[in-house]
Amino acid sequence: MPADPYKYFRIEARELLEGLGQGALELERGAPASQPVARLLRMAHTLKGAARVVRQPGIADLAHAVEGVLAPHREGDGPVPGERVRELLRLVDAIAALVGSLETPASASVPGAASSAAVASPAARAPAQGAGSALPAAGGETAGPARTPTEQAFETVRVEIGEMDSLLEATSEAGVQVGALRQEADELERARQTAAVLRDLLGPRRASAAAAAAGGGPGALRARSLAEELLGSLDRLQRGIATGIEQTERELSEVRDTVDRLRLVPARAVFASLERAVRDAGQSLGKRVELHARGGENRLDAHVLAALGDALLQLVRNAVAHGIEPEAERTAAGKPPVGRVEVSVERRGTRVAIACSDDGRGIDVEAARRAVVRSGRMGAAAAASLGAEQLLRLLLEGGMSTTASVTEFAGRGIGLDVVRETVARLKGEVSGSSERGRGTTLELRVPVSLSSLAALVVECGDVVASIPLDAVGRCLRLRDEELSRSAERDAIVHEGRLLPFLSLARALRRPEPAARVRRSWSVVVVRSGSGSAAMGVDRLLGTANVVVRPLPACVGADPTVAGASFDAEGNPRLVLDPAGFVAVACAAGRPAANASTGPAAPLLVVDDSLTTRILEQSILEAAGYAVELAASAEEALDRARTRRFSLFLVDIEMPGMDGFEFLGKLRADPVLRDVPAILISSRASPEDRRRGEQAGARAYIVKSDFDQGRLLATIRELIG
């Protein structure tokens, strides 16, 4: 029995359910019943049979019920009644819930199930002709229409993305071993050169023959002959190994490229769920809305597309809830009665842009201004001066909603949080535009793949790092005196703009050689959605395709680092996050001069979340501050009474003593009462802000609005 007896069934069932859902929506739009119904009946029958093979009678019974809903319309040409379509969708949802609840590989077993071959056999079949499967396995192509299902079974296979990742990992390890073999080949070349020197020391063949004829014996001639034979053998061996290594490297490169392509799946894989989300939101809100999607042939890394799924669902639901007007309002405005939501996918180099547009009313400017004021980010007078584009940027920061009442689809202010956090996790950017009465467009730009990318390799001190090539604006060579230096930071003048300058060593908190006289820099202009900054390095080592690996969980978060890769010899190499570097460069000041007053007291970060503590520590240390950490308010209070701190950064919601109570105890202590404190919390209400101010907080930062530049500016204002 395989470790996961439902593995292939889940894959097949999800594909069939996707096809059934798409077909139901097609029927709901009024398509003639005959062709869709016949196709859906085949899918339901296939699902029923597969469920019985793996002994899942509940799923089989529901699939049989789907057949019962569809069968009366097999021969009809008219539309299927709406109540029948709704029943069909209800059954599809119920089956999906059962499929999703199947046991995990660690505990799964199928009592009395058929052999493993029987369990796996349904997954070996290609989808039936016209089944509408939107997600070919790992980017594989479906067979042509002329092939029979039996032929298709041997033409296509399903491969899970995890297995592709394992293959990519193994290929990378093989590349490291080939690199080690190349080093051994270099040793062989040195042995060949040694043999050549030995042959030359024995003299020309004629001299060896003459020495033998003069009574020197055959030894000299024999030694010369052996040296030539050894040299010839080493020469042939060296050429053969070098050729084999070069061929292996080429083939491994082809395998890596092929695996990378296979890991890409068409964007259309998410279109069915988006169409269903638009349909459900429209029906719940009493609006008629259609989804139009294009660019589905563009391919993305499966991990990227999976991560984008929830974000795109939020975007289309927001478009229906906030953008599309009720039918009467649209008709009065001269618009078609049916609203339009469009999702488009466009490949742009190594990145992909996914735009969600609607033809609705656009941003409700007044409601957005009220939301900004409610959030406490600014007063009513300041908010009144904001235009639609500025308000949209603020809404994209999250934590706000323009809907006063909470519904299933709006009002909680978390929809755009999901979008922003997802895009940030994918090292992408989000932007938008809105026109009153014409609609709103939000665009997500993310890498096509997170695992493999083209990069510029640089060296600074003892650090070798890779920068994603699409983030490299330009490479320059500057003399040290060409840098613009000020009390705040170093900068360069580039294309008429002043860009912050930061050496890679400082960005990574590595020491720069003190005794070295710096005469010039290699400078890389690094771009991200938030701006640009100049990175100073020692050398540019060229470009390479790198496989990005996540850092181990035990490694603290660093805003400048996205992951790691290995070079051909197996040495680790950092992969930099362009957005993180730009943020650190913009926030970092000049290195502090030697002070006679001694080192400044450290900052104390107080938060029960390890992730938050490490993130804040990395930002603060990158800016030059000494930092200590406390996992609770009680621990922080004990430490504050035994040593001096220059500032406290405090979470509010912690087990035991919360942040408000902690600040109260600080203000009651005559020694600690004057140490400034900043509250950093997920709470965003004006009441919490007022309570923090009353407790003695000198600043209040909401985690959903977190901006490290603003944090560092606040700290500099409080303690320098």
Question: What are the boundaries of each domain within the chain?
Answer: 7-133, 163-262, 265-447, 452-587, 603-719
- The answer, yes or no, to whether residue 145 has pLDDT greater than 60, is no
Please indicate whether residue 706 or residue 641 has the higher confidence score (pLDDT).
Answer: 641
Q: Which CATH class is domain 452-587?
A: mainly beta
Same fold, 265-447 and 452-587: no
Q: In what order do the strands lie in the sheet with 472-479?
A: 472-479, 520-528, 531-537, 497-503, 490-494, 484-485
CB 621 within 8 Å of CB 642: no
Residues forming a β-bridge with 543: 456
Give the CA-trace dihedral at 612, 618, 619, 622, to 10 degrees.
Answer: 170
pLDDT at 592: 41
pLDDT at 354: 94
pLDDT at 47: 85
State pTM to two decimals: 0.53
pLDDT at 338: 94
Report the chain's mean pLDDT, rounded to a whole number. Answer: 77
pLDDT at 415: 61
CATH number of 603-719: 3.40.50.2300
Query: Which of 18-27, 34-43, 145-154 bottoms out in mean pLDDT, i.e. has the lowest?
Result: 145-154
Give the model's confidence band at 552: pLDDT under 50 very low, under 70 low, under 90 confident, else very high.
low
Alpha carbons 62 and 94: distance in angstroms, whole number: 8
pLDDT at 119: 28
Amino acid at 270: V
Give the model's confidence band at 336: pLDDT under 50 very low, under 70 low, under 90 confident, else very high.
very high
- Give the helix/strand (H/E) hosting 580: helix 578-587
Mean pLDDT score, 588-617: 66
Q: For the chain, what percent of residues have pLDDT higher than 70?
A: 79
Alpha carbons 11 and 125: distance in angstroms, whole number: 11
Each residue of 426-466: pLDDT tens digit?
878 888 888 888 999 999 988 887 777 788 999 988 889 99
DSSP E strands, 272-323: 289-294, 299-301
Query: Which of 260-264, 343-347, 614-618, 702-706 bottoms out in mean pLDDT, i.e. has the lowest?
Result: 702-706
Question: Looking at domain 265-447, does it have CATH number 3.30.565.10?
Answer: yes
Each residue of 60-70: pLDDT tens digit?
899 989 988 88
CATH architecture of 7-133: Up-down Bundle (1.20)
* 580: its two tokens: 């993180």
Query: Which of 118-132, 431-445, 542-556 bottoms out in mean pLDDT, i.e. has the lowest?
Result: 118-132
Query: Which of 304-308, 379-383, 411-415, 481-485 bottoms out in mean pLDDT, i.e. has the lowest?
Result: 411-415
Length of the chain: 720
pLDDT at 122: 29
Mean pLDDT score, 540-568: 73
Q: What is the DSSP string of 340-352?
A: EEEEEEEEETTEE
- The answer, yes or no, to whether residue 110 has pLDDT greater than 50, is no
Phi/psi at 67 (5° precision): -60, -40
- The answer, yes or no, to whether residue 673 has pLDDT greater than 50, is yes
